[in-house]
Amino acid sequence: MKRRNIKKLGGMRTRLLVRMILMAGVGTAFCGETPPSQKTIEINPAFRNLAVKPGDDFEEYANGGWRKTAEIPADRSSTGAAFEVFQRAEQRTAELIRGIAAEHPEPGTPQEMIANYYAAFMDTANIEKRGLEPLKDKLREIEQIESKGDLARVLGKNLRADVDPLNATELWTENLFGLWVTQALSEPDRTVPYLLQGGLGMPDREYYLSDKPEMAKLRTAYQSYVGEVLKLAGMSDPAGRAERIMALEKKMAAVHADLVASQDVHKANNPATIADLKSNARGLDWQVFLEAAGLDKQPMFIIWQPGAIKGLSALVVSEPLQTWKEWLAFHTINRYAIYLPKSYDDLHFGFYGRTLEGIPQQRERWKRAIASVNADLGDAAGKIYVAKYFPPSSKAAVEGLVNNLLTAFDRRIDGLSWMAPPTKAQAKAKLKTLRVGVGYPEIWRDYSGLVIRRDDPTGNAWRADEWEYHHQLAKIGRPVDRGEWWMTPQTVNALNLPLQNGLNFAAAILEQPFFDPNADAAANYGATGATIGHEISHSFDSSGAEFNSEGKLANWWTPEDATHFKAASERLVEQFNNYEPLPGLHINGQQTLNENIADVAGLAAAYDAYRLSLHGKELPVVDGLTGDQRFFLAFAQSWRQKIRDEALRSQIITNEHAPDRERAQTVRNIDAWYESYHVKPEQKLYLKPEERVRIW
């Protein structure tokens, strides 16, 4: 599948249903490789701000000293623990790719594809010489559109697939819709195509519809950017075209479902035939569109946002053909701007990087080349990466920690006094069948048929998009691959996959300061243990709990248990609604609920696993910190981050994760934190025992 990280390339956001969390570190105190006398505490006491009481602001206490001196790199929107790990993976991948190129790999091999892709991206002289020529056929095809039928055909040809079912990524900006291919929600043994809303050049509908002054400024900036791109491309009346494109996208945004509604899997489960599409979403010539997209023989689709699909289709009829042609031309250039001459690349970064994210400086070209290789040839590069940097001992160590967390979670289910035995049995069955992938996939992607040329970076990206699309279509009708991975091994990430009832932990995240075999149990379980617990808990959050052990959307709760779960969830929604990371901008507790549930449950399970690992003993006091204090400090320090206001604002509005700073405050729901740090009722984070959220 296409695994393009839009932010790394200067654009928008990715991932939602396939759970994304920047994972905390994994240690190996459980595996017996390091004698206790040689273990380190791994946390950094110097990062603390001792002027702040832990009970008033635990995140500031844990990380305030670090944040005072930390500097965000000029080419990034934030810095922190996760960025340190990302930098290491990036540098390693770069060294591997350069080494491959120096060895002059055999023609037709994945190594040659990697070398040619990287070299083409780095050949700026050739890019400048070719100008817009790589896109001339695509732009000519758009210009030759003479009817709404022609428009439907071009839109169908442009349809692309990605792994994210809820976001209009850059792959979906040049089409009304996005495509996602995976198991049917109610039939986990059947692979089907999903249609989702698309078409927006800015990250989310709120950027078009919000009446906040900040959003109005961004709309003005976006329209100006559109006009500058069209002017650079030599098109007539660029300002008028930009105004019409902006007006069209506002109408698209008005029919889009919002993020909270899109998270409701019950609202998403809308099976439809081609006849249903033709009758319920009038406007677009669906027969022509689906034939061009290679989907005209499909017996069933799932429509994730039916209101949006209906509204977007209606716009095909109501809006002038010329405006659609202008919209398509802009997004064709915008989609591939980073592969075009510097003037286009700089304009693209100016809006998506500097304006939207507050990043002052474009990333070095080699870094963007690595990100692009990872996006389009990720498995080919990943196979080489893990062979050098992720030995079997690391894989075994992480699998051991996962097993410890599964045991702790199982015991927590047993201890739930409010849950009825039938519900417990279903929960335990789901936990028992959870499929965990550590490091890398069992089966690597075969890129046969993908053409990568040394002199054609734009064409390489375009062909990779098209190859990926057909790779996804080929899954339809075949047996479901429950071991499929949704990211590359060199990605700093971890995922929960509810339809597969599975977890993925990528190799690149299992590094210092997250993964250290010399760290003691407190650090290992407080950081990595909490994150592995987080991913396990996603199988039981407000969306994950809707799926049974087979990955099927099915209710396995008694009415009483469901009521209790909902009440506890509502308390967590309110808790996060009260956080105000920027003046006047609160976290949306409902939007971030699934991630917040997983944080609370994951931390609780990690603490239990940590205590079990001690076998009734206590860790020694080190630097004045008890083992329990180090456990919670490791958790908070794994979330240390310094972020630009623009990027923070974008995250709060468009992302399902709360900001890292507020996530670190999750400790206030854990009884043991109060005891270890002697938190008093008069302190700001204090919650009465009955107010603390306890879900799993």
Count of alpha carbons within 13 angstroms of residue 225, beta-carbon side: 26
Q: Tens digit of pLDDT for each residue in 269-315?
A: 999 999 999 999 999 999 999 999 999 999 999 999 999 999 999 99
The b-or-e profile of 257-266 (16+ CB within 10 A means b, else e) is bebeebbebe
Give the global pTM: 0.88
pLDDT band at 673 (very low <50, low <70, confident <90, very high): very high
The answer to whether the CB of 197 falls within 8 A of the CB of 305 is: yes
Residue 386 has pLDDT above 90, yes or no: yes
Per-residue confidence band for 374, with pLDDT thresholds at 50, 70 and 90: very high
| Chain segment 387-414, per-residue pLDDT in tens | 999 988 888 888 888 889 999 999 999 9
For range 118-144, the mean pLDDT:
97
Residue 22 has pLDDT above 80, yes or no: no
Q: Where in 220-325 does DSSP place strands (E)? A: 271-272, 301-303
Asked if residue 254 has pLDDT above 80, the reply is: yes
- Which residues of the chain are in CATH 1.10.1380.10 domains? 132-339
**pLDDT attached to residue 41:** 63
The backbone torsions φ and ψ at residue 508, rounded to the nearest 5 degrees and listed phi first, read -65, -25
396 exposed, middle or buried (CB, 10 Å; 0-12, 13-18, 19+)? Answer: middle
Residue 17 confidence (pLDDT) above 50? no
State pLDDT tens for residues 67-78: 999 999 999 999
Q: Kindly state the average pLDDT of the residues 368-380.
A: 95
For residue 28, pLDDT beyond 60: no
pLDDT band at 539 (very low <50, low <70, confident <90, very high): confident
- Split at pLDDT 50, 70, 90, the class of 148 is very high
Which tokens sit at 325?
């042609």
Q: Can you give the three-state secondary structure of 147-174, one letter per residue? A: CHHHHHHHHHHHCCECCCCCCCCHHHCC
Question: Using 50, 70 and 90 to split pLDDT, how confident is the model at 170?
Answer: low
Q: Where in the chain is the domain with CATH 3.40.390.10?
A: 7-88+390-437+481-691
Helix, strand, coil content of the chain in percent (nearest 5): 55, 5, 40
pLDDT at residue 19 is higher than 60: no
User: Is the pLDDT assigned to residue 29 strictly greater than 80?
Assistant: no
Strand partners, 195: 179, 303
- Chain-centroid distance of CA 603 in Å reads 21
Question: Among 347-361, 537-551, 579-593, which is the least confidently predicted range?
Answer: 537-551
**Would you say residue 247 has pLDDT above 90?**
yes
Confidence of residue 235 (pLDDT cuts 50, 70, 90): very high
Domain 132-339: assigned CATH number: 1.10.1380.10
**pLDDT at residue 172, as a whole number:** 59
**CA 304 → CA 181, 280, 288, 522, 694, distances in Å?**
12, 14, 21, 42, 31
Of 321, 348, 154, 148, nearest to 233 (Cα)? Answer: 348
Alpha carbons within 13 angstroms on the beta-carbon side of residue 458 total 25
The per-residue pLDDT for range 515-531, each reduced to its tens digit, is 777 788 899 899 988 98
**CA proximity to 86, closest of 692, 688, 506, 455:** 506
Q: How far apart are CA 244 and CA 230, in angstroms?
A: 12
List all residues 6 or more positions away from 565 whose beta carbon is below 8 Å from its beta carbon: 542, 545, 557, 695
Cα 75 to the center of its chain, rounded Å: 20
Range 5-16 average pLDDT? 29
Beta bridge partners of 582: 585
**90-114 confidence digits (pLDDT tens):** 999 999 999 998 888 999 999 999 9
Cis peptide before 165 (omega within 30 of 0): no
pLDDT, tens digit, 9 for 90 and up, residues 569-590: 999 999 999 999 999 999 999 9
AA identity, residue 654? T
Banded model confidence at residue 121, pLDDT cuts 50, 70, 90: very high
Cα gap 135→336, rounded to integer Å: 9
Q: Give the CATH superfamily of 7-88+390-437+481-691.
A: Collagenase (Catalytic Domain) (3.40.390.10)
Using one digit for the tens of pLDDT, what is the confidence trace for 540-549?
887 888 898 8
What local confidence, expressed as pLDDT, does residue 1 receive? 35
User: Residue 438: which residues within 8 A CB-CB, separation 6 or more?
Assistant: 395, 398, 399, 402, 505
Flag the least confident range among 37-46, 251-260, 378-387, 611-620: 37-46
User: What distances in angstroms separate CA 13 from CA 377, 459, 656, one per listed residue?
Assistant: 20, 24, 11
Tens of pLDDT, residues 211-229: 999 999 999 999 999 999 9
- What is the chain's Cα-based Rg? 25
In single-letter form, the type of residue at position 170 comes to: E
192: helix, coil or strand? strand
CA distances from 672 to 603, 609, 659, 678 (A): 11, 13, 24, 10
Average pLDDT (684-694) is 96
Band the pLDDT of 34: cuts 50, 70, 90.
Answer: very low
